[in-house]
């Protein structure tokens, strides 16, 4: 066929031009569409258009339903239906006909049918099921174009559950002689991987083949899958680094066919994809990073042409260089690149420059210093997008000295912005900065006033909450507390005297609470005055009933004296009949309390907010009730997110054509990135670390001679130089600034040039000095370590220092070290592709050596595998994971009286015998089999060991264990699922567990099925529950790292815990108990505060800040993982209770 194609190719242009000539058969259709389009353009009003389209649609509807309509006419009708849908009119009646067209039409009609399907339906549409058969048929067609069409539609959408039906056919296409088919098949598999990763788990070595494909297009397509897989598990693919580097080298060196050039740059998309993969592989991994330095350097060097596409590559290079383990020489070049971007007159490049600066600024604040004037220009840029990105950058360099200027700029932007999403994001950031760095009370209250007014009712609810908390809990000095509260009261009274009608509800609620609680502090302010102001709020039209309840509660606190009684009386008459029951209750309360001063004093004592309320948020006192209810058959509690998820799933199957669909979205990190500095601070960890290390005496060989990393804690703080002076030193003369782009780090050593500067320039310099104060001072490095000396408001928010040093390497490393999925990566040299072994042996740490061994001695693969099957695991420690099921010898004489535990524990695999294990508990039993289990806590893993004891005289065949859990990821490492349990013996199964979703207790359920000698199959069910504490490991971080991490996490919980009083320092005593019982790591104890860190097995950290306050321990937990803080808190509480 391709021959025919080749021959006719020359005739193509003339054939195509037929399209626009009248008379040809196809054109009547075009003209019908044409008529429609022309008709629409001639119309003047939206209404007329609607009428026309409705007419059109009903005519289409009539025709598609008619049995006389030929497939060719149908094709033309579909095109028109697509057009109507694009204009926003629904044509759902045509969906089924689109499927029919794809099914029954000839090739060219089919093509339109498939297109219509892919445009009309979305992934979860149930009609898509009807397409499966058509796809199946076309995949088997001998016509290449039909196969292509089927693969194209599959790569765009396919019902998840039907993947197994076509998977073998798609896999088969990976060896198709035509590269276009292979390429599309790879992309179809990529799609499957995205929507159902488990379904394609078994064909990972086929991905490898695709990566080695001789056609660059197929290889490029396979990189999509690799990028995704490496994102999820970089440890599993480290051995491919050399191959990726080689490929990139070849691409950069121009070894690909010219077709792949884009504006004479060789395969830029491929280059960028490879750079992304390399940065994932090299992150926090020095030896892997070292492999790529050369090619990164080469890429930087080659991408010199002045074209967008080379900038795109440069940008990706820079990102990679700052992500992987740092190398001074490369960092220097990358910094220069960023400089070029920032200074570029092209606005798109400038934007990317700012974005890159934001990305690296915590590692290298100097870079921001070098470009301060450009940054200031960008701050006043007419394009809000640029402004916004600049604010993002400033947010990351905020410290106690520049906070007022930066917050002012942010508020300025907020007043301009009309986009809700931006508003919420920025308001949150301002509140965060204000709490952390507020220079004085007045500023703090005023800033928060603006936050509340601008954020309105959209902002995150925790902003007002934590503000009120801050006011009520106070700081170390009571005088200061009083001052702050007094100031708040004054400010609110004057706001209420102004135009309270314009204030958002949330703000009014805050005002009411504060006035109710603290207005007595202001001497000379009569309660009656405050009451009148508050009462005014009740009469306002826009006040919501929630706010009214707040107002009434505040009034209840204030009402005193005879005036108030009458006011309360009046209010109760007016609102007593309200439909809102809460409101009615509040009014009644107000009336009663106003009449009975004594009662009021006992119900609402003054300053009660300072007394910590003991709230048991884990509700542990209900445990008994819950377990009773559960045993009585109640459904277990599901947290809201789970319910929502299930709801969404249920909706996906609903009969509505468009149910509530899956969320639009992206990987979780991007959101985090916007809202909090999570990603950045994590990734900026590398070089922060390295500085740290080199200071400690160099456990690494990293040399940072070329680059001075002067970004310390919060910069200049220790020197206490007057602001003006430091500013002068830091501001480079505007005249020399362009030439200094990317230049050395001599900024601070420079003496100011006494060039006379024009007036506006001077203004900019002043702004610069106030913005960049505190950045990049050399002394800051030695400041690292002790945080409490800094003049920022530690006492206000004790945690969250804006420290620059990043996440510890430990976190990121441990993140993956426990993952047991070692892919079939034994063939070290991928491009050789001679060895493809399905063997999956060895623990991750041992993979490199082992894989090399196997790779070099190719022939041993099989032998080794045989070996595994026979040997006892104890003899070959490196093969532990491969054979987690071992059949132990039956005990010589089984003593029925012997406690089961000790009897079974002798069956623990040898390598686990030395470790402590939990009590072995029976899971379930039948007349033949007894199942018991225990878990073994290892440093880097949690293993579940299931013992299957065959007490009968006959062998059990086809033993199959299956487990599932919502909270846990259970990986069984058994190769052969069918297993026989010999008579009177014990089989041991090992599973490695990881937490998917934290809960105070995590459970897994399972079934054991087996066959009796009689051939009868039996099934048993069991479940196993274990506390989250088994998964918690200490997280060793330094105080600075802790600070950075703290800022990055969004999930938090606060609570008061009981403080132990064992004679010695109560804080230390309490933390010691927690440390011993829960394996937490106590990072630091400073005075009455302590910081503690731990992580889950797979690395997700949880941080805890503790402060002794009013006889109890106020703890505040933060983590990137939802629910983890709550669960940990629960266990802390239990641990302290049990103590």
Partner 1 sequence: MHSFTFHCVSPSCSDQSPLSFPQMQFMLLFSRQGKLRLQKWYVPLSDKERKKISRDLVQTILARKPKMCSFLEWRDLKIVYKRYASLYFCCAVEDQDNELITLEIIHRYVELLDKYFGSVCELDIIFNFEKAYFILDEFLLGGEAQETSKKNVLKAIEQADLLQEVIHVCIAV
Q: Which of 315, 794, 1022, 1046 binds partner 1 (CB under 8 A)?
A: 315
Is residue 1061 involved in binding partner 1 (CB under 8 A)? no
Cβ pair 511, 497 in contact under 8 A? no
> Shortest distance, CB of residue 53 to partner 1, whole angstroms?
13
477 is a contact residue toward partner 1 (CB under 8 A): no
Backbone angles phi, psi at 457, to 5 degrees: -95, 10
Shortest spacing between CB 459 and partner 1, in angstroms: 9
Q: How many CB atoms lie within 10 A of CB 867?
A: 15
Q: Report how far apart, in Å, the C-alpha atoms of 305 and of each of 266, 319, 741, 931 are.
A: 12, 19, 19, 68
Q: Which is nearer to partner 1, 386 or 798 (CB)?
A: 386
Note whether 270 binds partner 1 by CB under 8 A.
yes
**Interface residue with partner 1, options 173, 208, 371, 388 (CB under 8 A):** 388
Q: How far is the CB of 644 from partner 1 (least distance, A)?
A: 6
156 binds partner 1 (CB under 8 A): yes
What is the phi/psi pair of residue 1109, to 5°? Answer: -145, 120
Residue 1119: beta bridge partners? 1051
Strand 886-887 relative to strand 986-995: parallel, antiparallel, unpaired?
Answer: antiparallel
Compute how many other C-beta atoms are within 10 angstroms of the C-beta atom of residue 869.
Answer: 10
Residue placing its CB nearer to partner 1 in the complex, 83 or 443? 83
Q: How far is the CB of 798 from partner 1 (least distance, A)?
A: 26
- Shortest distance, position 336 Cβ to partner 1, whole Å: 18
Q: Pairing relation of β-strands 921-925 and 929-937?
A: antiparallel
Which listed residue (305, 608, 619, 660) binds partner 1 by CB under 8 A? Answer: 660
Interacting residues with partner 1 between 199 and 218 (CB under 8 A): 217
Task: Output the smallest distance, CB 260 to partner 1, in A.
Answer: 5
Helix (H) or strand (E) holding 453: helix 441-455
**Given 673, 864, 979, 1089, the residue binding partner 1 (CB under 8 A):** 673
Nearer to partner 1, 356 or 908 (CB): 356
> Closest Cα partner for 1038 from 715, 788, 809, 789?
809
Which of the residues 324 through 353 are near partner 1 (CB under 8 A)? Answer: 347-348, 350-352
- Shortest spacing between CB 669 and partner 1, in angstroms: 7
Residue of 211, 272, 406, 493 interacting with partner 1 (CB under 8 A) = 272
Interaction of residue 923 with partner 1, rule CB under 8 A: no
Residue from 201, 658, 763, 939 that binds partner 1 (CB under 8 A)? Answer: 658
Give the separation between CA 733 and CA 726, rounded to whole angstroms.
Answer: 14
Q: Which of positions 115-154 make contact with partner 1 (CB under 8 A)? A: 115, 118-119, 122-124, 145, 148, 152
Contact 994, 969 (CB under 8 A): yes
Query: By CB under 8 A, is residue 413 in contact with partner 1?
Result: no
Closest CA to 128 of 104, 94, 162: 162
CA quadruple 42, 48, 51, 54: dihedral, nearest 10: 50
From 428-436, 659-667, 1006-1014, 1101-1109, span contacting partner 1 (CB under 8 A): 659-667
Which one of residues 94, 220, 963, 1039 is an interface residue with partner 1 (CB under 8 A)? Answer: 220
Residue list 5-24, contact with partner 1 (CB under 8 A): 5, 8-9, 12, 15-16, 18-19, 24
Q: Using the minimum distance from each CB to partner 1, give the nearer residue, 260 or 293.
A: 260
Given the complex with partner 1, which of 641 and 762 has the nearer CB atom? Answer: 641
Phi/psi at 265 (5° precision): -105, 130
Q: Does 647 bind partner 1 (CB under 8 A)?
A: no
Question: Looking only at residues 441 through 460 of this chain, which bind partner 1 when binding is defined by CB under 8 A?
Answer: 458
**Residue 682 and residue 1049 in contact, taking contact as beta carbons nearer than 8 Å:** no
Is residue 361 a contact point for partner 1 (CB under 8 A)?
Answer: no
| Residues in 574-613 at the binding interface with partner 1, rule: CB under 8 A | none
3-state secondary structure 177-239: CCHHHHHHHHHHHHHHHHHCHHHHHHHHHHHHHHHCCCCHHHHHHHHHHHHHHHHHCHHHHHH
The reply to whether 646 sits near partner 1 by the rule CB under 8 A is no
Question: Helix (H, G, I), strand (E, B), or coil: what is residue 901?
Answer: helix
- How crowded is residue 567: how many other Cβ atoms within 10 Å of its Cβ? 21
- 3-state secondary structure labels for all residues of 86-108: HCCCCCHHHHHHHHHHHHHCCHH
Minimum CB distance to partner 1 smaller for 275 or for 433: 275
Which parts of 751-810 interact with partner 1 (CB under 8 A)? Answer: none
DSSP E strands in 252-389: the ranges are: 261-262, 265-266
Residues 166-195 that bind partner 1 (CB under 8 A): 180, 183-184, 187, 190-191, 194
Residue whose CB is less far from partner 1, 339 or 734: 339
Restricting to residues 91-110, name those near partner 1 by CB under 8 A. 106-108
Binder of partner 1 out of 238, 436, 548, 997 (CB under 8 A): 997
Alpha carbon separation from 561 to 507, 557, 597, 1041 (Å, rounded): 28, 12, 9, 56
**Touching partner 1, residues 52-91 (CB under 8 A):** 79, 82-83, 86-88, 90
Cα-Cα-Cα-Cα dihedral of 154, 156, 160, 164, to 10°?
Answer: 20
- Only one of the segments 364-372, 378-386, 747-755, 1086-1094 lies at the binding site for partner 1 (rule: CB under 8 A); that segment is 378-386
Query: Applying CB under 8 A, what is the total number of residues that bind partner 1?
Result: 112
């Amino acid at each position: 066929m391709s021959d025919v194609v080749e021959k006719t190719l020359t005739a193509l242009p003339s054939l195509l031009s037929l399209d626009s000539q009248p008379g040809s058969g196809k054109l009547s259709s075009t003209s019908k569409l044409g008529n429609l389009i022309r008709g629409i353009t001639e119309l003047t009003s939206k209404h007329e258009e609607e009428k026309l389209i409705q007419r059109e649609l009903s005519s289409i509807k009539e025709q598609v339903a008619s049995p006389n309509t030929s497939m060719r006419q149908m094709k033309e009708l579909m095109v028109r239906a697509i057009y109507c849908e694009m204009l926003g009119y629904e044509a759902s009646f045509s969906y089924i006909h689109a499927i029919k067209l794809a099914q029954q039409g000839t090739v060219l009609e089919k093509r339109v049918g498939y297109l219509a399907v892919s445009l009309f339906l979305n992934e979860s549409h149930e009609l898509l099921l009807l397409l499966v058969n058509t796809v199946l048929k076309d995949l088997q067609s001998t016509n290449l174009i039909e196969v292509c069409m089927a693969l194209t539609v599959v790569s765009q959408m396919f019902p998840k559950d039907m993947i197994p039906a076509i998977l073998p056919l798609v896999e088969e296409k990976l060896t198709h002689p035509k590269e276009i088919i292979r390429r599309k098949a790879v992309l179809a598999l990529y799609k499957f991987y995205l929507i159902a990763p488990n379904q394609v788990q078994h064909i990972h070595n086929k991905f490898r083949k695709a990566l080695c494909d001789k056609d660059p297009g197929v290889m490029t397509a396979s990189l999509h899958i690799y990028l995704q897989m490496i994102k999820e598990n970089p440890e599993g693919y480290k051995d491919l680094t050399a191959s990726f580097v080689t490929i990139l080298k070849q691409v950069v060196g121009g070894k690909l066919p010219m077709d792949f050039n884009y504006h004479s740059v060789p395969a830029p998309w491929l280059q960028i994809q490879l750079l992304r993969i390399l940065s994932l592989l090299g992150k926090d991994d020095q030896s892997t990073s070292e492999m790529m330095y050369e090619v990164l350097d080469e890429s930087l060097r080659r991408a010199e042409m002045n074209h967008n596409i080379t900038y795109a590559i440069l940008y990706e290079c820079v990102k990679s260089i700052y992500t992987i383990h740092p190398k001074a020489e490369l960092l220097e070049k990358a910094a220069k690149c960023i400089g070029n971007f920032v200074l570029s007159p092209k606005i798109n490049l400038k934007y990317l420059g700012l974005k890159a600066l934001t990305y690296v600024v915590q590692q290298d604040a100097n870079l921001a210093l070098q470009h301060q004037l450009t940054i200031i220009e960008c701050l006043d840029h007419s394009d809000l997008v640029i402004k916004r990105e600049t604010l993002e950058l400033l947010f990351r360099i905020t410290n106690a000295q520049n906070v007022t200027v930066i917050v002012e700029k942010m508020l300025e932007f907020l007043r301009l912005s009309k986009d809700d999403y931006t508003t919420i994001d920025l308001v949150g950031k301002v509140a965060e900065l204000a709490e952390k760095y507020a220079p004085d009370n007045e500023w703090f209250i005023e800033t928060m006033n603006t936050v509340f007014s601008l954020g309105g009712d959209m902002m995150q609810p925790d902003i007002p909450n934590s503000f009120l908390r801050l006011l009520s809990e106070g700081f170390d000095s009571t005088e200061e507390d009083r001052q702050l509260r007094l100031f708040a009261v004054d400010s609110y009274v004057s706001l209420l005297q102004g135009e309270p009608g314009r204030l958002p509800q949330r703000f009014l609620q805050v005002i009411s609470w504060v006035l109710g609680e603290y207005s007595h502090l202001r001497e000379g302010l009569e309660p009656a005055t405050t009451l009148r102001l508050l009462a005014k709020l009740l009469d306002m039209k826009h006040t919501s009933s929630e706010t009214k309840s707040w107002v009434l509660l505040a009034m209840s606190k204030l009402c005193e004296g005879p005036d108030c009684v009458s006011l309360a009386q009046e209010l109760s008459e007016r609102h007593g009949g309200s439909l809102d029951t809460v409101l009615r209750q509040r009014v009644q309360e107000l009336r009663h309390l106003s009449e009975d001063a004594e009662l009021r004093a006992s119900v609402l004592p003054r300053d009660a907010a300072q007394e910590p309320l003991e709230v048991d948020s884990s509700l542990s006192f209900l445990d008994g009730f819950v377990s009773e209810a559960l045993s009585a058959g109640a459904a277990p509690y599901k947290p809201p997110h789970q319910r929502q998820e299930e709801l969404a799933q249920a909706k996906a199957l609903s009969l509505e054509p468009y149910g509530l669909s899956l969320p639009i979205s992206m990987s979780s990190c991007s959101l985090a990135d916007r809202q909090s500095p999570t990603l950045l601070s994590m990734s900026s960890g590398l070089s922060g670390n390295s500085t740290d290390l080199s200071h400690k005496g160099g456990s690494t060989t990293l040399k940072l001679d070329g680059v001075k990393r002067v970004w310390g804690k919060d910069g200049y703080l220790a020197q206490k130089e007057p602001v003006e002076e430091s500013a002068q030193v830091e501001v480079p003369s505007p005249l020399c600034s362009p030439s200094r782009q990317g230049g050395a780090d001599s900024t601070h050593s420079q003496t100011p040039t006494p060039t006379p500067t024009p007036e506006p320039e001077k203004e900019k310099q002043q702004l610069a000095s106030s913005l960049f104060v505190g950045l990049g001072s050399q002394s800051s490095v030695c400041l690292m370590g002790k945080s409490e000396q800094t003049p920022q408001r530690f006492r206000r928010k004790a945690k969250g220092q804006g420290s620059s040093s990043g996440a510890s390497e430990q976190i990121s490393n441990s993140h993956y070290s426990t993952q047991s999925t070692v892919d079939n990566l034994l063939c070290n040299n991928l491009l050789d592709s001679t060895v493809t072994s399905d063997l999956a042996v060895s623990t991750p740490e041992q993979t490199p050596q082992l894989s090399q061994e196997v790779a070099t001695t190719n022939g041993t693969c099989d032998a080794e595998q045989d070996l595994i099957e026979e040997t006892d695991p104890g003899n070959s420690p490196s093969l532990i994971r491969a054979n987690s099921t071992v059949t132990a010898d039956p005990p010589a004489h089984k003593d029925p009286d012997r406690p089961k535990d000790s009897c079974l524990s002798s069956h623990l695999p040898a390598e686990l015998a030395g470790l402590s294990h939990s009590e072995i508990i029976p899971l379930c039993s039948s007349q033949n089999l007894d199942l018991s289990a225990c878990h073994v806590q290892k440093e880097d893993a949690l293993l579940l060991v299931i013992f299957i004891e065959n007490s009968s005289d006959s062998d059990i065949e086809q033993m199959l264990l299956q487990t599932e859990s919502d909270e846990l990821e259970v990986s069984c490492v058994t190769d052969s699922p069918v297993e026989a349990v010999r008579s009177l013996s014990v089989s041991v199964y090992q599973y490695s567990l990881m937490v998917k979703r934290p809960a105070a207790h995590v459970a897994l359920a399972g079934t054991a099925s087996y066959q009796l000698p009689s051939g009868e199959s039996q099934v048993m069910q069991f479940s196993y529950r274990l506390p989250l504490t088994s998964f918690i490991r200490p997280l060793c971080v330094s105080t600075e790292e802790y600070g950075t991490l703290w800022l990055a996490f969004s999930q938090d919980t606060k609570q008061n815990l009981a403080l132990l009083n064992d004679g010695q320092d109560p804080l230390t005593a309490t933390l010691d108990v927690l440390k011993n019982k829960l394996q937490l790591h106590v990072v630091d104890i400073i005075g009455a505060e302590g910081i503690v860190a731990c992580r889950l097995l797979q690395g997700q950290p949880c941080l805890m800040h503790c402060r002794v306050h009013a006889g109890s321990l106020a703890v505040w937990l933060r983590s990137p993982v939802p629910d983890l803080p709550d669960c940990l808190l629960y266990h802390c509480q239990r641990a302290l209770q049990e103590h």
